[in-house]
Amino acid sequence: MSADPIIRLEKVAKSYGGINALEEADFELFPGEIHALAGENGAGKSTLCKLIAGVIAPTAGAVWIDGRQVTLSAPKDASRLGISMVYQETSLVPQLTVAQNMVLGRERMFNSVRKVRNAARQVLQRLNFKVDPSQLAGSLSTAKRQMVEIARAVLNEARVIILDEPTAALTPEETDHLFDLMKSLQRSGVAMIFISHALEEALNHADRISVLRNGRLTVTGPARDFDRNRLISSMIGSELKQDTSAAKAVRAVHSALPVLRVENIRMGSMVNNMSFSVFPGQVTGIAGLIGSGRSEVAKVIMGHTKRNFGGGRIWFEGREVRYNVPAQAIADGIAYVSEDRKFDGFFETMSIADNIGLGWLAKFGRRRRLAPLSRMRQISQDWEKRLSIRCTDVDQLVLHLSGGNQQKVVIAKSLAQEPKLVIFDEPTRGVDVGAIAEIRQIVRNFAESGAGVILISSYLPEILDLSDRILVAKSGTIVAEFARNEATAERILHAAIH
């Protein structure tokens, strides 16, 4: 590591109306360094990154780049100095193509659409990202949108690339590939900051780790000086209490009658004759690789994707149903915690209270006018406490919450519907270790109260830990089913792949 940092922050602070998102942070980034940021939801990680990327301006302190003090008043100031950021919530313009997004703000350097497309294609190929440059950004999966943002930074010839939770929406293979890519960028001198709630990623792939807690940068050191326990205790300021779920016995099926049954569901090329049942009082886990049709079948049940619906039958509480819009499913008592909160999880320009309140109102369906509105605020406050949503109060806009806390609002909004069946699609994506334990507890309690739960997760330990039954999806069908006590990671993976 060379002696001079590219970036140096000196006592940098950011406050929002008296709330300190970041306090007096001293931070250095050296050329060719991979630097991980760890910390709980709301600790200030994204804030630190946005200050470096010129997205927000500090309320105090000094920023030095290449030894010169600078004022970054817009992302283009940072980008001119070679600093690019890949955001936690994607920043692509959905109506533009991949290639147009990649050159956004620098179109003038390319004098034809074809040049733009070729430049984009070259970078995407070099990075081994299978994304078509002429596709609209809005039609891409979360993982692919992330790839486009990384490719944009590489196309910008950035010297510093900041990645805010880049692996949250990636498969294990895509994650490995990303870290290989980061190592190769590192060899060409690029410095990188990445945020991750997967502690192993920081421990295994970073040169140095900085930990934030409550807006304070509490410790920075070489990754080899950390292990999981030290990292957790510096994040939360104490030891994490042991998760006792694994010791739980399998919950018995309450009755032989399923709360939900789907038969031979087909949708486009993603879902091929999928059939399964979900019983009340149990967590039914659906494991499988990305693209195995798990989220798609959830969307079919919810009435989210009418267009490609290819047939099949759905029974909810013994009655055959076919929803045309999610509102109908919600009014019947089905809730869906989407994997993609930015697109269909919440209304970001509304407050926490209004979002949770909307969820609660939805359960009244067409009798909404009869809802006792005076209780709405109390209900939001109860959820805010139950999920430890970090905020000033429930009137705060969701837009102003950290990513993990936004995810908690999505969950609260769905559960406030008091659904009889809830579909959790990657519920702990982007939330910190402490909140993961809380959310898992909520999933379990919810099943214990007699409701049906579908848990879709790409993280096998989560499926194994929470589910009473585990279904394995592959190429749009259910190929295997295990009871909790017969399921192992090896058996599930074998079924998912072979």
Ligand X SMILES: Nc1ncnc2c1ncn2[C@@H]1O[C@H](COP(=O)(O)OP(=O)(O)OP(=O)(O)O)[C@@H](O)[C@H]1O
From the CB of 310, what's the least distance to ligand X, in Å?
Answer: 38
**Nearest partner of 410 among 433, 437, 432, 439, judged by Cα:** 439
Shortest distance, CB of residue 13 to ligand X, whole angstroms? 12
Query: Between 218 and 264, whose beta carbon lies closer to ligand X?
Result: 218
Sequence-ordered alpha helix ranges (H) in 130-195 = 142-155, 172-187
Cα gap 99→270, rounded to integer Å: 26
Q: Which residues contact 251 (CB under 8 A, 6 or more apart)?
A: 281, 282, 283, 447, 448, 468
Within 41-80, residue ranges assigned H as helices are 45-52, 75-80
CB of 44 to ligand X, least distance (A): 4
Query: Rule CB under 5 A: which residues touch Mg ion?
Result: 46, 88, 402-403
342 vs 84: CA distance, rounded Å: 21
Of residues 56 and 158, the one with the C-beta less far from ligand X: 56
Cα–Cα distance between 45 and 72 in angstroms, integer?
A: 18
- Nearest CA to 388 among 324, 457, 442? 442
Q: Give least dist CB 403 to Mg ion, A.
A: 4
Q: What does 405 interact with, of ligand X, Mg ion, none (CB < 5 to 8 A by kind)?
A: ligand X
Nearer to ligand X, 202 or 401 (CB): 401
Instruction: Give the whole-angstrom CA distance, residue 375 versus residue 371.
Output: 9
Rank residues 88 and 142 by Cβ distance to ligand X and give the closer one: 88
Query: What is the CB neighbour count within 10 angstroms for residue 50?
Result: 23
Bridge partners for 97 per DSSP? 136
**Residue 467's binding partner, choosing from Mg ion, ligand X, none, with beta-carbon cut-off 5 to 8 A by kind?**
none
Q: Which CB atom, from 47 or from 351, has the smaller least distance to ligand X?
A: 47
Q: From the list ligand X, Mg ion, none, which binds 51 (C-beta under 5 to 8 Å, kind-based)?
A: none
Binding site for ligand X (CB under 6 A): 16, 19, 21, 39, 41-47, 88, 390, 400-405, 432
Nearest-approach distance from CB 347 to ligand X, in angstroms: 16
Looking at the Cβ atoms of 165 and 468, the one nearer to ligand X is 165
Closest among 421, 420, 396 to 406, alpha carbons compared: 396
User: Which CB sits closer to Mg ion, 295 or 402?
Assistant: 402
- Under 8 Å between Cβ of 6 and 159: yes
Measured from the CB of residue 167, what is the shortest distance to ligand X in angstroms?
13
The nearest distance, CB 231 to Mg ion, in angstroms, is 17
Other Cβ atoms closer than 10 A to 264:
14
Residue 213, both tokens? 């807690």
Give the one entry of Mg ion, ligand X, none that residue 196 binds, where binding means its C-beta sits below a cut-off of 5 to 8 angstroms depending on kind.
none
